[in-house]
């Protein structure tokens, strides 16, 4: 593969296999016929407000009804205007009111093997206690609460507790550095932080509170820090007047706080993600529209049935965890498995052990994980009875057909439909995906749009392209789950998403649509790369590198990687230092400290100069080619002269 996007195009050309849904699956499916889908799709397209008004009335609880379904003045949308609802109420009380109080909401397993089960009623009590605790710490409606926690039930509980009182959660994936936490705290003016003493990862303990302490030294707006005891080691430093223990402040509460009636457009959460510039942006989602989108897309795509045991393996630090660990499945009254740790601890069969033990019916994971399982070997899978599975999902990046086939055969026993779901932090929930009861799938394609999603593929002048031609993927109409803005930066919101193709949402992805109306995502149009399903801006990594004293200039590109999808390749020019292994180590450490381990460059290459065009622009395409041809050995430290290559290219 030359690069990931052209790799996918190649597959498009040769991929002709079609996998119809198993007849048995279709019989009971939530969307059980093409006609039903077409009816839903046409209704949402032709009578947007009528369709979503009815959906919202049926599928959310309203303290006060809305009077207008959608107020749309590009780029600003308001949904279910003047209505009052509450996402925590929809996830908990509504289910309890409907007789599901004793149904298991969360089946949880920690990495060391400890377990917990919470019914919907028990979960509500825990959420109320946490909400009462947050109130006691001074959290009011509209305040931002930063959350930096392991995948324990308390993470979901904290999110729902914020939602219950109208506080805005900002979950920060627990792999980010102190610098990244501080940046996010400051950007959002976070008032309170929730964390834990540590987390388990592959049998080791990561001292989360230490990282948070370092971050809080640079986060002047944070007044209080609530600390969950997860690890139980001695010597956790607690700052007098600022830090309090969860077991002192939360567990001592009564646990019956009613959910606050909130405006439909009340901010529900901020989630930071990388854009094409160096600074991550706080994507804002609001209450009613997001909640409805998460719920309905969950029900349609995962074909939710009462006796399902559903497992989404994502961490709540990412949007997939927000929409498909917490808000979607819980609003739908699902029983969800939540797992704290690594897929290869204590052994490479941990996921399959969990599927067998909990009789998981629906598994939603990422292609990067699937590729790791393939590498670890089939014997880890074959040891386990996976016959409970009936549906498989994939998210985060395109799934290459080889991985798709392995997932289908080895995990699904050739019996389970695969839903390859395309969406983004900004879209709030799934936008394009097979519907498992009706869509014949093609490996590598996210197939067709969900009701309410009107995709359009356009060229650089904004004109629609012919079928089978690649172009920029836009969404032509607002949808309830769409982002409402970038926290504190209206201008960037308008410029980044709504200006290049006026009035249409620019996704940042390239795509093509084939003769059957199936969509194929072909990679990004901007400088965003996708490393193990995690979104990173190359400029963010470059900024981290140049903040090191030895670095003059840095250019970062993605290169294809069998496991990660894309790996991070950095080209750097240096001053006053030898281009040696020692410096490479130092730079890697520096990037980890600036951003977090997930941004650690896979290759670092020292160069005398960076290849630039006559107008001074770095020739990224050339660097991508060089990085892709790079031998895996990688670590010979020489100073290359790429300017020669650049001048050759310039003459082309």
Binding-site residues for CoA, in ranges, read 201-204, 320, 344, 532, 592
Shortest Cβ 91–ligand PRX spacing (Å): 20
513: which 2 tokens? Answer: 């649509």
Q: Which is nearer to ligand PRX, 323 or 335 (CB)?
A: 323
Question: Is residue 408 close enough to count as binding ligand PRX by CB under 6 A?
Answer: no
Strands 267-273 and 528-531: unpaired
Q: Which is nearer to ligand PRX, 180 or 273 (CB)?
A: 273
Of these, 86, 88, 320, 439, which contacts ligand PRX (CB under 6 A)? Answer: 320
The 10 Å CB-count burial string (b at 16+, else e) for 231-259 is: beeeebeeeeeebbebeebbeebebebeb
Q: Which is nearer to ligand PRX, 132 or 315 (CB)?
A: 315
Question: x/- contact string, 530-569, with ligand PRX (CB under 6 A)?
Answer: x----x----------------------------------
Q: Which is nearer to ligand PRX, 191 or 534 (CB)?
A: 534
Element spanning 388, H or E: none
Contact 18, 440 (CB under 8 A): yes
Angle at 294 between CA 267 and CA 139, to 5 degrees: 30
Shortest Cβ 31–ligand PRX spacing (Å): 19
Q: Which is nearer to ligand PRX, 349 or 420 (CB)?
A: 420
Q: At what angle do helices 153-165 and 120-136 cross, to 10 degrees?
A: 60
Question: Is residue 420 close enough to count as binding ligand PRX by CB under 6 A?
Answer: yes
Q: Which is nearer to ligand PRX, 100 or 319 (CB)?
A: 319
Q: Which is nearer to ligand PRX, 301 or 619 (CB)?
A: 301
Q: Could you tell me how far CA 323 lies from the centroid of its own chain?
A: 9
Of these, 133, 153, 275, 396, which contacts ligand PRX (CB under 6 A)? Answer: 396
Q: In this chain, which stretch among 27-35, 338-346, 389-397, 457-465 interacts with ligand PRX, using CB under 6 A?
A: 389-397
55: which 2 tokens? Answer: 């959906």
Shortest Cβ 623–ligand PRX spacing (Å): 20
Q: DSSP for 562-620, please give it.
A: TTTEEEEEEEEEESSS--SHHHHHHHHHHHHHHTBGGG--SEEEEESS--B-TTS-B-H
Q: Which is nearer to ligand PRX, 198 or 289 (CB)?
A: 289
Shortest Cβ 360–ligand PRX spacing (Å): 20
Residues numbered 219 to 278 that lie near ligand PRX (CB under 6 A) are 273
Measure the CA–CA gap between 31 and 438, rounded to whole angstroms: 7
The 10 Å CB-count burial string (b at 16+, else e) for 545-560 is: beebebbebbbbbbbb
Assign residue 40 a region (left: φ > 0; alpha: ψ between -120 and 50; beta: otherwise): alpha
Q: Which of 100, 213, 194 is nearest to 143 (CA)?
A: 194
Residues numbered 591 to 610 that lie near ligand PRX (CB under 6 A) are none
The 10 Å CB-count burial string (b at 16+, else e) for 602-626 is: bbbbbbebbbbeeeeebbbebbbbb
Measure the CA–CA gap between 272 and 396, rounded to whole angstroms: 16
Question: Is residue 529 close enough to count as binding ligand PRX by CB under 6 A?
Answer: no
Strands 362-365 and 309-312: parallel
Q: Which is nearer to ligand PRX, 95 or 320 (CB)?
A: 320
C-beta nearest to ligand PRX: residue: 425
Of these, 188, 389, 446, 450, which contacts ligand PRX (CB under 6 A)? Answer: 446
Shortest Cβ 508–ligand PRX spacing (Å): 6
Question: Is residue 425 close enough to count as binding ligand PRX by CB under 6 A?
Answer: yes
Contact 184, 146 (CB under 8 A): yes
Question: Is residue 442 close enough to count as binding ligand PRX by CB under 6 A?
Answer: no
Question: Is residue 415 close enough to count as binding ligand PRX by CB under 6 A?
Answer: no
Q: In this chain, which stretch among 257-265, 379-387, 418-426, 565-573 interacts with ligand PRX, using CB under 6 A?
A: 418-426
Q: Which of 37, 15, 121, 83 is nearest to 300 (CA)?
A: 37
Tell me the site size for ligand PRX, rule CB under 6 A. 21
Site of tokens 């808000």: 327
Write a three-state SS string for 496-551: HHHCCCCCCEEEEEEEEECCCCCEEEEEECCCEEEECCEEEEHHHHHHHHHCCCCE
Site of tokens 């990495």: 111
Q: Which is nearer to ligand PRX, 147 or 483 (CB)?
A: 483
Residues numbered 462 to 521 that lie near ligand PRX (CB under 6 A) are 507-509, 521
Q: In this chain, which stretch among 133-141, 324-332, 338-346, 414-422 interacts with ligand PRX, using CB under 6 A?
A: 414-422
Question: Is residue 6 close enough to count as binding ligand PRX by CB under 6 A?
Answer: no
Of these, 122, 397, 542, 602, which contacts ligand PRX (CB under 6 A)? Answer: 397
Residues at the site binding ligand PRX, with contacts judged by CB under 6 A: 273, 319-320, 395-398, 420-425, 446, 507-509, 521, 524, 530, 535
């Amino acid at each position: 593969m030359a690069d990931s996007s052209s790799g996918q195009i190649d597959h498009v050309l040769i991929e002709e296999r079609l996998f119809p849904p198993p007849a048995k699956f279709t019989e009971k499916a939530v969307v059980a016929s093409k006609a039903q889908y077409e009816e839903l799709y046409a209704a949402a397209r032709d009578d947007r407000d009528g369709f979503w008004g009815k959906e919202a009335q049926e599928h959310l609880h309203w303290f006060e009804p809305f009077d207008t379904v959608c107020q749309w003045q590009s780029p600003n949308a308001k949904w279910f205007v003047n209505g009052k609802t509450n996402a925590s109420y929809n996830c908990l009380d509504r289910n309890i009111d409907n007789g599901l109080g004793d149904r298991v909401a969360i089946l949880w397993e920690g990495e060391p093997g400890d377990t917990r089960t919470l019914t919907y009623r028990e979960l509500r009590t825990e959420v109320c206690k946490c909400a009462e605790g947050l109130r006691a710490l001074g959290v009011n409606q509209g305040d931002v609460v930063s959350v930096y926690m392991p995948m324990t039930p308390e993470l979901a509980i904290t999110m729902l507790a914020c939602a219950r009182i109208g506080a805005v959660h900002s979950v920060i994936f627990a792999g980010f550095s102190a610098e990244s936490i501080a940046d996010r705290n400051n950007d959002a003016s976070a008032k309170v932080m929730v964390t834990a003493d540590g987390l388990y990862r592959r049998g080791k303990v990561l001292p989360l509170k230490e990282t948070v302490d370092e971050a809080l030294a640079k986060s002047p707006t944070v007044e209080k820090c609530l600390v969950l005891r997860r690890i139980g080691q001695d010597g956790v430093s607690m700052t007098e007047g600022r830090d309090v223990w969860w077991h002192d402040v939360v567990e001592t509460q009564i646990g019956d706080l009613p959910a606050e009636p909130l405006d439909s457009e009340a901010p529900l959460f901020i989630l930071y993600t990388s854009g094409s510039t160096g600074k991550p942006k706080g994507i804002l989602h609001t209450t009613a529209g997001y909640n409805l989108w998460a719920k309905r897309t969950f029900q349609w795509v995962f074909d939710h049935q009462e006796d399902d045991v559903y497992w989404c393996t994502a961490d709540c630090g990412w949007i997939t965890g927000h929409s498909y660990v917490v808000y979607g499945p819980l609003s739908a009254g699902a029983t969800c498995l939540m797992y704290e740790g690594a897929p290869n601890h204590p052994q490479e069969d941990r996921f399959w052990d969990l599927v067998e033990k909990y009789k998981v019916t629906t598994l939603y994971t990422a292609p990067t994980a699937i590729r790791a399982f393939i590498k670890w070997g089939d014997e880890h899978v074959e040891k386990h009875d996976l016959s409970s599975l009936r549906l498989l999902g994939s998210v985060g990046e395109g799934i290459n057909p080889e991985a798709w086939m392995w997932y289908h055969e080895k995990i699904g026993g050739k019996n389970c439909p695969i839903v390859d779901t395309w969406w983004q932090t900004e879209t709030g929930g799934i936008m394009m995906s097979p519907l498992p009861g009706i869509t014949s799938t093609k490996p590598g394609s996210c197939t067709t749009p969900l009701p309410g999603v009107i995709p359009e593929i356009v060229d650089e002048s904004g004109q629609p392209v012919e079928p089978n031609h690649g172009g920029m993927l836009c969404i032509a109409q607002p949808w309830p789950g769409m982002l409402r803005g970038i926290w504190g930066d209206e201008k960037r919101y308008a410029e980044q998403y709504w200006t290049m193709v006026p009035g249409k949402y620019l996704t940042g992805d390239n795509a093509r649509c084939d003769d059957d109306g199936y969509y194929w995502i072909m990679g990004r149009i901007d400088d965003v790369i996708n490393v193990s399903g995690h979104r990173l801006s190359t400029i963010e990594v470059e900024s981290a590198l140049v903040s090191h004293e030895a670095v003059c200039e840095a250019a970062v590109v993605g290169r294809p990687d069998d496991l990660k999808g894309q790996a991070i390749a950095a080209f750097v020019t240096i001053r006053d230092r030898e281009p040696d292994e020692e410096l490479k180590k130092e730079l890697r450490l520096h990037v980890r400290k600036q951003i977090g381990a997930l941004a650690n460059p896979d290759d670092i290459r020292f160069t005398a100069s960076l290849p630039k065009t006559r107008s001074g622009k770095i020739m990224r395409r050339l660097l991508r080619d060089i990085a892709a041809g790079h031998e895996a050995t990688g670590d010979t430290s020489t100073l290359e002269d790429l300017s020669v290559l650049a001048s050759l290219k310039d003459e082309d």
